[in-house]
Amino acid sequence: MSGLKLEVPEIPVVEQVQLPARETALIVVDMQNDFVKPGGRLVVPAAANTIEPIKQLLARARARGVRVFYTQDTHYEGDPEFSIWGEHVKAGTWGWEIVDELKPQPGDIVVQKTRYDGFYGTPLEDLLRVYKVLNLVVTGTVANICVLHTAGSAALRWLRVYVPMDTVSALNEFDYYAALRQISFPYRGTIVRTAAGVEFV
């Protein structure tokens, strides 16, 4: 059986963006123990490397009054998704909790979701509209699953999406770059080389 070899189309990357703090929100997607920490049920090995860039980005965002959101993947006994990925992030377990290094702070909003998309069946869209958010900086894991679906849903709602490359992770290199390509092309998102290149003004 022969495999397929694909050429990755060019992915536009910018070094720096300036975003108005009052019109921008930062979202941290599914940075939970089961996905990030040793002993988790569905660990993305590269996710640990994104903790520090996300942490620094969060600090700068909070300092400028940028709204901060988290998605928390949440499943219950007998969830159909377990047939795909196995049991993971069951509500109330250690694996379900957001990693200590990125714990939500007072004023942050945590949105529990039961599917890949942070908008599906959650109040996220309404909250972003209430706060008059036009720009969404998307970070977290997994790049080609929950990050991609959340970024795509944001773009379909005409939010401008920004993804710092060092703040997202995937299970393999192909999935990582495929997600960035998808976000940058049909969804017209902006891929920023590093979190340090995102400035809130």
User: Which residues are the active-site residues?
Assistant: 30, 113, 146
3-state secondary structure of 167: helix
Tell which residue, 154, 68, 87, 91, has the closest CA to residue 118. 154
Q: How many CA atoms lie within 13 A of 165 on its CB side?
A: 18
Tell which residue, 30, 11, 27, 47, has the closest CA to residue 169. 47
Write the secondary structure of 19-62 as one string of H (helix), E (strand) and C (coil): ECHHHEEEEEECCEHHHHCCCCCCCCHHHHHHHHHHHHHHHHHH
Q: Note if the bond before 130 is cis, omega within 30 degrees.
A: no
